[in-house]
Amino acid sequence: MKILDWYIIKKFLATFLYALLLITIIAVVIDTSEKADDFVKSGLNTRQIIMVYYIGFVPFIISMIFPFVSFIAVIFFTSKMAARSEFIAIMTGGVRYNRMLRPYLIGSIFLSLIFWQASQTVIPRANVIRTDFQANYVDRNSSYNPDPTKGSSYYLRVDSGTFVGMRYYDTANKAASNFFLQKVKNNQEYYNLRAERIRWDTAKKNWKLYDLVERKIDGLHEKVRKVMDTNLNLNVKPVELKRDEYLKDKLTTAELKQFIHMQEIRGVEGLNIYRVELFHRDASPFSVIILTMIGAIIASQKIRGGSGVHLAIGIVLAFTFVLMDKFSVTFSTKGNFSPLLAAWMPNIIFMVVVIWLYRRTQK
């Protein structure tokens, strides 16, 4: 890379880190003021609050603002360069406009790769810390949230021919009542099992059934067997029976893919929210590149008003991007809109904006 490349990349990364640090600190201060009562009620000291909450909250908030911080950083330092007529001097020296945009592209790819890698494992692991605190110390004290330990009914398809169900599942004791299991082949039931109670056996890592009746059906013939208790290896773990609104944020990409696959086998509906999250982890890092190029093209033009006008345009575009993203996600999770298209729709539209801005820019 040439001196020009290093000059722009250093300005890009330095401004980005400064803006990221500043906005993160502001977010932490605002969040602290909002959760002050929850921190007091938790009985934790400052060090414990940092370790059980903020060590997870900071990566989460960074993941939320990462693409837009890169966008604002590019607009800020590029508009300053344009105001000092640096781009005019650069292009007067024989540097083509395409060549001048190359360091922006290199810097955005570097940041997007870091963001992509963090989105796969680091941020989900941090979300485990953040959401555990949220569930234990914030949501539990809220009058708007029901007690998550209260029983619920579950009906699942374990595999292509096995169906199970249980009532009043207690997430705290990992136990339920009125359990049934049915096995079907060629649309005919050939095995049926019912138990009064079922509980997770932590020692054997399987389910223990109590007061069960087992039926084996062969045409018109049926064998019935009653058993006081027995253990059953069922392809369902207690964690899968807990209704966790934060689950999609806590699973790594590999775990999320496995979770979606298992839920599809079981015939569970409403998986678009997990599919959108999966595709979003690839789309969000790519948006860093798109927003960076938009910022570079807009801010490199010297206009009356300088940085103020550029920042205003940037804020409008960032707001539009977020609005489009929210709309597409809502249409996918609440309707039949493709999750892949929902995750990538803002990027596709703003890629068209990049091409349009590039063609209209004076070079």
DSSP states along 43-68: T--HHHHIIIIIHHHHHHHHHHHHHH
Return the closest-CA partner of residue 295 out of 94, 2, 70, 52: 70
Is the pLDDT score of 117 beyond 90? Answer: yes
Structure tokens belonging to residue 132:
């555990």
Determine the longest span between alpha carbons in the chain, in angstroms.
Answer: 93
CA 229 → CA 159, 167, 213, 215, 232, distances in Å? 24, 18, 10, 15, 10
pLDDT of residue 363: 62
Tokens 């209209």 label which residue?
360
15 and 134 fall within a common domain: yes
CA dihedral sign of residues 334, 339, 344, 345: negative
Between CA 337 and CA 164 the distance in angstroms is: 30
Q: What contacts 24, CB < 8 A, 6 or more positions away?
A: 58, 61, 62, 65
The span from the CA of 309 to the CA of 254, in Å, is 43
* Residues 266, 277: Cα–Cα separation, whole Å: 20
Which of 102-106, 170-174, 253-257, 300-304 is least confident?
300-304
Residue 257 lies in a domain: no
pLDDT at 89: 86
If you write DSSP's letter for every residue of 280-314 in order, what string do you get?
A: HHHHHHHHHHHHHHHHHHHHTS--TTTHHHHHHHH
> Does residue 101 lie within any of the structural domains?
yes
Looking at residue 169, its pLDDT comes to 82
Helices (runs of H) and strands (runs of E) counted in the chain: 13, 6
pLDDT the model gives residue 278: 93
Residue 324 has pLDDT above 90, yes or no: no
Asked if the structure places residue 196 within a domain, the reply is yes
- Highest mean pLDDT out of 46-50, 113-117, 148-152, 348-352: 113-117
Instruction: Classify residue 210: in a domain, yes or no.
Output: yes
Q: Are residues 100 and 173 in the same domain?
A: no
Domain check: are 137 and 174 in the same one? Answer: no
Same domain for 161 and 186?
yes
Say if residue 14 is in the same domain as residue 123.
yes
Closest CA to 291 of 5, 65, 100: 65
Looking at the domain assignment, is residue 249 inside a domain?
no
Mean pLDDT of the chain: 85
For residues 90 and 167, membership in a common domain is answered with no
The structure's pTM equals 0.77
pLDDT band at 265 (very low <50, low <70, confident <90, very high): confident
Are 176 and 193 contacting, i.e. CB atoms less than 8 angstroms apart?
no
Task: Report d(CA 359, CA 302) in Å as an integer.
Answer: 17
The b-or-e profile of 311-345 (16+ CB within 10 A means b, else e) is bebbeebbeebeebbeebbebbbeeebbbeebbbb
Say yes or no: 28 and 137 in one domain. yes
* Token output for 5: 């490349």
Is there a single domain that holds both residue 21 and residue 126? yes
Question: Quick one: what percent of the chain has pLDDT higher than 70?
Answer: 93
Higher local confidence (pLDDT), 332 or 275: 275
Q: Find, among 333, 332, 334, 328, the residue nearest to 347 by Cα.
A: 328
pLDDT of residue 146: 46
Percent of residues in the chain assigned helix, strand, coil, to nearest 5: 65, 20, 20
How much is the pLDDT for 152? 67
pLDDT of residue 99: 87
pLDDT at 331: 83
pLDDT of 241 above 80: no
- What is the signed CA dihedral for 315, 321, 324, 328, rounded to 10 degrees? -150
The predicted pLDDT at position 143 comes to 47
**Residue 307, pLDDT score:** 62
Instruction: Answer whether residue 250 is part of any domain.
Output: no
Domain shared by 179 and 212, yes or no: yes
Q: Are 29 and 75 within one domain? A: yes
What mean pLDDT do residues 331-345 have? 86
Structural domain of 213: 154-242
Contact yes or no for 301/82 (Cβ under 8 A): yes
Picking from 15, 128, 18, 114, the residue whose alpha carbon sits closest to that of residue 63 is 114
- What's the pLDDT at 10? 94
Instruction: Convert the pLDDT of each residue in 180-193 to its tens digit.
Output: 999 988 888 899 99
- Residue 228 lies inside a defined structural domain of this protein: yes
**pLDDT given at position 109:** 96
Domain membership of residue 253 (yes or no) is: no
Q: Provide the pLDDT for residue 97.
A: 83
Region of residue 185 (left: phi > 0; alpha: psi -120 to 50; beta: else): beta
**What 3-state class would DSSP assign to 216?**
strand
Q: pLDDT, tens digit, for every residue of 35-86? A: 888 888 888 888 888 888 999 999 999 999 999 999 999 988 988 888 888 8
Same domain, 112 and 216: no
Residue-level pLDDT at 11: 93
Residues 166 and 136 in one domain: no
Half-sphere exposure of 59 (CA within 13 A, CB side): 24
Q: What is the pLDDT of residues 131-180, one digit of tens each?
A: 888 877 776 655 444 444 444 678 887 777 888 888 888 777 888 889 99
> Structural domain tally of the chain?
2
Residue 107, both tokens? 């810097």
Q: What is the mean pLDDT of residues 325-330?
A: 84
